[in-house]
Amino acid sequence: MNHTNTQDEAQKKAKPIAPKVKELIANTKSIILATLDAEGNPNSSYAPFVQVENTFYILVSFMARHTKNLAEGRKTSIMFIEDESATKQIYARERLTIEATTSQIERDSETWNTVVTHLKETHGKVVDVIAEMKDFILIALQPTKGSYVNGFGSAYFVDENLEIMEHRNDVNHQSK
């Protein structure tokens, strides 16, 4: 059996699956963060989050490398990804990757108080303790664009409102 033909046939049979961006976000409690430091060195981490309207918020400590990168407004990418234990195919895990701008929310501002209340409701009483620690700051992550994948042949461009713009069907997979 020719391996290349099998891959080509599988790709032709792959049909886009209806996007479920909002469901993926709703089923996720933390985001994966990718940031850059002042020298352009990458750093990856994660943080529990809440979404208020179209903005994601995280409460993070300056003891973590990524916090300085976020506070200084450097390029940031965030990812929501299906749990490995829930996926049928490890190569096709559902995921949403977003490029985002960042801004620090002033402590005790109206936005700070509203978001911290949402964080407590979502993640529990530990937020009461963390929010009082002076090394923790609240960061807003505002989406600018992204991509959503939910299977082979099922990838989409996403806009700043997390709405599907178009199916990414213009790129064909190539085999050796």
Tens digits of pLDDT across the chain (176 residues) = 554 444 445 444 455 566 789 999 999 999 999 999 999 999 999 999 999 999 999 999 999 999 999 999 988 999 999 999 988 899 999 999 999 999 999 999 999 999 999 999 999 999 999 999 999 999 999 999 999 998 888 899 999 999 988 887 655 545 45
Of 12, 34, 16, nearest to 149 (Cα)?
A: 16
Distance of alpha carbon 41 from alpha carbon 59, whole angstroms:
22
Residue 62, number of CB atoms within 10 A of its CB: 13
Among residues 17, 28, 41, 39, the alpha carbon closest in space to that of 98 is found at 28
Q: How far is CA 173 from CA 7, 20, 31, 111, 165, in A?
A: 9, 23, 28, 45, 21
State the amino acid at position 176 in one-letter form: K
Q: What is the DSSP letter of 107?
A: T
Q: 4 by DSSP, 3-state: which?
A: helix
